[in-house]
Structure formats: C-alpha cells, structure tokens
Amino acid sequence: DIQMTQSPSTLSASVGDRVTITCRASQSISTWLAWYQQKPGKAPKLLIYKASSLKSGVPSRFSGSGSGTEFTLTINSLQPDDFATYYCQQYNTLWTFGQGTKVEIK
Amino acid sequence: QLQLQESGPGLVKPSETLSLTCTVSGGSMSSSSYYWGWIRQPPGKGLEWIGSIYYSGSTYYNPSLKSRVTISVDTSKNQFSLKLSSVTAADTAVYYCARHLSVVGAPTHFDYWGQGTLVTVSS
C-alpha cells in the first residue's frame, strides 16, 4: 500500500500570507497526485490534479508542484475563503489520501 | 451540470449490511471516460477510499475493506451502489460517491462528488 503523509497537520496563517503544505508518498507515484479542499459539512473539491494542473475555475493563487515522492500545495495571498482542510491523494496505485492539513486563522 | 446524490438508511445495526445508492444526473454513467467511486469519512477524521467501478462492471476495492465490500452498477438507472457487510461502530462515517476521470483507460482523480450521507452504526 502507498502511504501519504502530509505536514503540517495544522497551520495557522493570516489573510495575505503565502502558505505551503507538503505531501510525501511512501514510494514513487510519478505525478499521479491530486489536491482537494474541504470545508466543514461539505464534500471535498478538486483543486489540482497530476501534481500541478489547476482545475478549471480554481483561483490561480493555488499551485502544486513535485514528482516522485514529494509534493507541495502553495496558496499565494491566502484569502478568507481558503480557511479549510486540504488533502492530497495519490492515484498511482489504487487511491490513498493524506491525513489532511487544516489551515486556520491566526 | 453533473450531479451525484447518495441515498440509503442513515442508521444500520451492528453486524448488518450497509447499503447505499448513488444516482447520477446530468450525464451518462455509460461513458468510457469515467469511473465511479465511494469514499468515506468518519466524524472528525480523514478520507478513505472504499472502492470504484466502471460502467462495464469491473471493480477496484480497498484491500483493507475488500472482504466486506461489493460495488455494483445499473447503467439503465444511472446508479451505482455500495454494500458493506458485517458493519461495526468503526464504519460510522459520511459516505460520499464521486466520479473519477479515466485517462488512457485508467481511473485517476475524483472530479465530481456527491454531498455525502451520514451512516451511523448503532443498535
């Protein structure tokens, strides 16, 4: 099984900050990685797929990078709507999610 | 606009079988471009993929749940279903159905999700 580990688990930030979340895979997954945003009581929403491809309609302040085993999600100039929990997910071999990173207001 | 809607009992007794259906509207399940999956999220915890199915009926299951899970599809009704047997309190979760995009025949990320339905396992 491929394990996905996100860091940090919680991140405190202010509006306007640049935020980076890291996701590590237990083995190489090439660029078969997606990032999702989830708000309380709602379904996750796809932000980025294939490690760095932005889903249509997602603000350009979101970006993803990485390949192999290490990946990052960056949010430039954090907006009030961005306070949420973020999950990475690999789809190289079946599907596994990271444990999530909660971005909270500082 | 594609929509997915989960339906089924919100309360299941321990040792019984959890059964949910996902109804897809605004698009056909018979397209070769998509797979269809189930994901769950225990209260206050992270996401766990349960299994996925293609319109032809071919399936993928999470190895940790495989012995208890059956996913089926009814393209005539544009629905797919989840059965999870021998449930315990640990199966209490919000259950989501979702669509995978297929790229060169392989299912990839989830691009559309249902709103989710809470299933509680309790006597």
* B15-61 pLDDT, tens digit each: 999 999 999 999 999 888 899 999 999 999 999 999 999 999 999 99
Which chain A residues are within 8 Å of B116, Cβ to Cβ?
43
Q: Does the beta carbon of A52 lie under 8 angstroms from any beta carbon of chain B?
A: no
pLDDT on residue A53: 97
A87 touches chain B (CB under 8 A): yes
User: How would residue B102 be classed by pLDDT, with cut points 50, 70 and 90?
Assistant: confident
Per residue in A52-85, pLDDT (tens digit) is 999 999 999 999 999 999 999 999 999 999 999 9
Chain A contact set for B100 (CB, 8 A): 91
- A46 and B49 within 8 Å at the Cβ level: the answer is no
For chain A, give the DSSP string.
---EEEE-SEEEE-TT--EEEEEEESS--TT-EEEEEE-TTS--EEEEETTTEEPTTS-TTEEEEEETTEEEEEESS--GGG-SEEEEEE-SSS-EE---EEEEE-
Instruction: Enumerate the residues of chain B whose CB falls inside 8 A of the CB of residue A50.
Output: 108-109
